[in-house]
Structures are given as C-alpha cells and as structure tokens.
Amino acid sequence: MARTKVIAGNWKMNKTAAEAKEFFNEFLDKINVADPEVVICPTYMTIPAAVEAVKGTNVGIGAQNMYFEESGAYTGEVTADMIIEAGCKYVIIGHSERRQYFNETDEGVNLKTKKALEKGLIPIPCVGETLEERESGKAFDVLKEQTTKMLEGISKEDAKKIILAYEPVWAIGTGKTATDEQANEACGYIRKLVKELLGEEVADAMRILYGGSVNAGNVKALMSMSDIDGALVGGASLKADFVTLVNFKEA
C-alpha cells in the first residue's frame, strides 16, 4: 500500500507568536505542501498565530499534548475540544520528554489517544527505548509493551487514522541518529506488532514516523526506507530551512 509521507515539526517550548509569524512568512513560500503531508506543532500559546499563518495552505497545525478528560480541576491541562477550537487537526501524545519529565504513562497515552480519536483529531503517539534499554537488548520488548498498551481498546478503523512515531530516546536532541537500517528495523517491528494486534489491513494503512535528530543531511536516506513513512522533527523544525526536510524528494 502506498502511504503518504508525513513530515511533522515539534517546536517544543520554543517560539513566541511573533516568531512563528516570521517563520511562516519565510517557510510557506518555499514548500510543496501537496506531498508530503506537513504538520507543525507549536506551543499552546502560539497555536492561534500558526493557524492564521497557514490559512489557505495544506499545512496542518497540531498540539504537543492534551488531557483525556472533558473538563475539570486539572490545572495547567487542555482538552481536545480546546485545541480543536484553536484550529488543531493533530496532537502529539506520549512524547519521550512528556514521559521523562512529566510522568506520562502508557495508560495515559492510551486514554489520550482514544480521546483524540473520539474527537476527530489525528493522534501522533510516540514510542521508543532509552539507550540503556537498547544496549541491554530490551528495545523490542519496550516497543512491544508501549505499542500494545497504546492500541488497547482501539478499533481497527480508528487505528488506521493513527500516525505512530518511533522515537528512540537516546537519539532525541543528542545529535545521535539511529542508522537507516536501525530505524527501519524498529519501524518494521512496530508494523509487525500492529499486524499481530489488529490485522494486515491496519498495519499496511498506519503511517509510522521516525524521530530522533532528523536533519537535512539524513532525511532523504531515512525516507527511502521501506517501513518509515515520515519524520517527527524537533530542533531542525525551528528554522525556515526546515523546508529542506519537507522537500526531501528534491534533495
């Protein structure tokens, strides 16, 4: 099955609204937004400015997190409805930094993924092992546990809408990148798990991204791998030359 590539930028805790406008003024003039699918995930406070900037284009805006409850006494959290109203179509869930610094759990990732799907958002849940887990031979065990728990209770039709991101923790923001073969092997293993859990049709349809120090120098080779359907990009998405990654086919 031909799967549309996705290049998603995760701005993390960077850029004000004014800086976002400056970025998009330069970025949007240089991209072919038809292929691949392009997603930018700014901070909550910057979402309205980003949504306004991409009007009339095919660039999608996403949030970096959301809570699974509809409302309530959850100080500092936002709901799916709130980010939808702000103009988001996507939401990153369970990024390793959320797991590491904010005690995100596999159970929470599952609940958030379900809520996003229920509300019509496209979830981008993240899975990935630490360096210690990889070096001790436990990488695939970690991926199995995280992926299985993330998909628990999700229907086949809903699962097809998920964009799953493989992000080895040891490669995020470190400058280290999994080799093309390592990244493809892990994404292929995740696809095999999805097939075992939900069937071949879902596994063929689900897009699986690689994230971990993706840059202009390695993106084309990574995107040529059989089981890598795009990239979730951190630091390299903060500058307008992120366009080089989006236009990887021209490189």
Residue 3 near residue 226, CB atoms below 8 Å = no
123: which 2 tokens? 């979830």
Please provide residue 226's backbone torsions phi and psi, each rounded to the nearest 5 degrees. -65, -35
Q: How far apart are CA 54 and CA 38, in angstroms?
A: 11
Residue numbers belonging to the annotated binding site for substrate: 10-12, 173, 213, 234-235
Residue numbers belonging to the annotated binding site: 10-12, 173, 213, 234-235
Question: What pLDDT was estimated at residue 8?
Answer: 97
Question: What pLDDT was estimated at residue 175?
Answer: 74
Paired residues of 233 in beta bridges: 9
Give the CA dihedral 169, 172, 174, 178, nearest 10 degrees. Answer: 80
The 8-class DSSP code of residue 216 comes to T
Question: What pLDDT was estimated at residue 171?
Answer: 80
Question: What pLDDT was estimated at residue 33?
Answer: 64
Which residue shows structure tokens 């691949």? 36
Instruction: Give the active site residue among 19, 69, 167, 185.
Output: 167
Sign of CA dihedral 61, 198, 98, 218: negative
Residue 143 near residue 128, CB atoms below 8 Å = yes
Q: What is the pTM of this model?
A: 0.96
The 8-class DSSP code of residue 153 comes to T
Q: How far apart are CA 196 and CA 120, in angstroms?
A: 25
Q: Which CATH architecture has domain 6-250?
A: Alpha-Beta Barrel (3.20)
Active site residue 167: yes
In residues, how long is the chain?
251
Question: What pLDDT was estimated at residue 174?
Answer: 74
Which residue shows structure tokens 């993106």? 219
Question: What pLDDT was estimated at residue 73?
Answer: 98
Angle between the N-to-C axes of helices 180-198 and 139-151, in degrees from 0 to 180, rounded to the nearest 10: 40
Active site residue 95: yes
Question: Tens of pLDDT along the chain (251 residues)?
Answer: 689 999 999 999 999 999 999 999 999 988 876 779 999 999 999 999 999 999 999 999 999 999 999 999 999 999 999 999 999 999 999 999 999 999 999 999 999 999 999 999 999 999 999 988 988 999 999 999 999 999 999 999 999 999 999 999 888 777 777 889 999 999 999 999 999 999 999 999 999 999 988 888 999 999 999 999 999 999 999 998 899 999 988 76
Question: What pLDDT was estimated at residue 1?
Answer: 63
Question: What pLDDT was estimated at residue 176?
Answer: 75
The 8-class DSSP code of residue 160 comes to T
End-to-end CA, the chain: 24
Instruction: Give the active site residue among 37, 95, 97, 133.
Output: 95
